[in-house]
Structure 1
């Protein structure tokens, strides 16, 4: 039997984007609720957003000097071997000093060195793979990891089949109750209850092409009597904030209360990162996916297509925005039936117990390490 009062030591590693950070925080929160005396340490990459977001969630983090390899040759790639050696050395020191009972990796280049060292020392490890097409870090780590929690079918192409557990992706707990927040959302965002609300999301840092699209279609959107909540991202806020001077379009650098934003939305325009897709399944609203083409193995397009294949969303490739956006948007906005059907179908794909199921697997590893 596992001792819930024991002071387990748990390391979670991953980062670079919110899609790797928020799952790690959700897993840590669930572990903390089960093991109140546990000690947690996050390991991320220096100068990336996890160095701010993790402490805001109440956890300690150490940063490694590590970046990914650029797909095209750049001078940055020349420093990669030195960064990797530095990160492996620092990871050894972290493991030696902290003495974890289990290590959890949520993807991104920051998790590579830490999990490599942990698995080489026989420390129980779990990988949480969010995407339908894994990144290189998790593919390399899979051979030595004890368990691999995934959100899509068909990943035995990349991982040992006997290690795979399909759990879905961890999402924020408050998204499970957004229906109760709709009135609060109208007040919070000062919205007109008689107008449809379009929520535009490009990820935590922003999406250049989606921002360009909303700028170009600014007048078109207003002529369709909608209101827009536009998260343009930290990198683009300085340029696009001027478009928030009208009553019906508001521009945000970042939205902290995403549950309220989702509750307010009638239609969502979004990138197709794995965590965004998982959240949108739970939210159950009609979605237009505009996947980023600038990701490894075009995994965002694969994530989105998996939803579209279930008749649960609309996809528009970046190259097709000029031709398709207005037509597809009009077809959706004028059809309450289509909106309802897409919302109903995407909701069926939600895996609401993902975090608990992943932590169940972590518990089995802790139990194993006790023996």
Structure 2
């Protein structure tokens, strides 16, 4: 079995690709996988470190709308298309998969021209412009949210498969006890996990300052706040200025970054998150109720739609970034603390939305495309 996987630009495209690749390698005998990305994307650093063969093409990004500039971009990146054709011809894949990002365009188009089975995996409720275009050429479209079907109405229903979004296996294998022990958390308190993404989220971090002060020393709750590297010193310093002694209060832990997020998820009873597709997939797989603050500048505001998909099912509360404040967060947290039945129901609804086997489902779908 020979497979080309393309996806890049952001971790939201790269890490699902890696998870799918590992699942394919487990299921297929004598599997060879080649990743195709760009030199400037994060994939150029991440993929080789994960032990996969990696090659690059030159390509520029498309705007998230149909425009004359996109037509010009396609002409300007013709070299990337021709190189993709050479790569595909040389590697001779049985199937080609795209997980998002503009680098997928030339690679999946090349597969289509060469009559090689292909599929795309769309993580968000609102598809990106690249996947909207590629949907016309691929054999299967794997969607992370049922709501995404509404953006692919012109295609045959059997072409669109709801799989959920792939998550790392460690997310499910980590235990609550392991997480508590590794992070110094008490089993007697509810654990609130606050994460604004790998770089942090300033609006969430600033609102959390009042939350820290309000809940400092509280016996019912403990807060694990991951600030992001750039925000850490500022948050710690502001806490000191506010008279919050984290070391003695005993229920607030502030970290710049967590290298083992699955352990934190295993220990969490409630989360404050942005609404990226991968993060939400991990939350729902573990059945963690959430207070979501969608990133307001995400392309086509897709995080808002991701968040609302959970809120409509009762798995999350949503607070707009422009409305976020310490008072609103405190009120929301207090309301859930005072109503454990409501929190438990949110957890149940979250678990119902989870698709912990999504990676395996996508891998099997990809393997099924191989021609006899």
TM-score (norm 2): 0.86
Q: Is residue 307 of structure 2 the alignment partner of residue 308 of structure 1? A: no
Q: Say if 1:188 and 1:165 are closer, same or farther in 2 by CA, change over 3 A.
A: same
Aligned equivalent of 1:258 = 261
The 1:338–1:100 alpha-carbon spacing in structure 2 relative to 1, beyond 3 Å, is same
Taking the aligned partners of 2:10 and 2:229, their CA distance within structure 1 comes to 13
Query: Could you tell me how far apart the structure 2 residues matched to 1:237 and 1:92 are?
Result: 46
Q: Which residue of 2 aligns with 1:40?
A: 33
Q: Structure 1: where are the runs of 5+ without partners?
A: 1-7
Query: Residue 246 of structure 2 aligns with which residue?
Result: 246
- Determine the structure 2 residue equivalent to 1:339: 343
Instruction: Measure how far apart 1:80 and its partner are.
Output: 5.4
Unaligned runs of 5+ in 2: none
Q: 1:49 to 1:213 in 2, by over 3 A?
A: farther
1:172 is matched with which residue: 168, 171, 177? 168
Q: Does 1:327 align with 2:331?
A: yes
Change (3 A) 1:285 1:140: same
- What is the rounded CA distance, in whole Å, between the counterparts of 1:249 and 1:90 in structure 2? 52
After superposition, where does 1:82-231 map in structure 2 within 5 Å?
A: 84-159=77-152, 160-162=155-157, 163-178=159-174, 181-222=175-216, 224-225=218-219, 226-231=221-226
Q: Distance in 2 between matches of 1:331 and 1:121?
A: 57
Whether the 8 Å CA contact 2:271–2:290 is kept in 1: the answer is yes
C-alpha RMSD of the superposition? 2.8
Q: 1:80 to 1:231 in 2, by over 3 A?
A: farther
| Partner-residue secondary structure (3-state), 1:344 | helix
Shift of 1:134: 0.5
| CA contact 1:241–1:252 (8 Å) conserved in 2 | no
How far apart in 2 are the matches of 1:255 and 1:101? 38
Contact 1:271–1:289 (Cα < 8 Å) also in 2? yes
Question: In structure 2, what is the Cα distance between the partners aligned to 1:221 and 1:319?
Answer: 23
Between the aligned partners of 1:66 and 1:299, the Cα distance in structure 2 is: 24
Q: Does 1:276 align with 2:287?
A: no
* Displacement after TM superposition at 1:238 (Å): 5.9
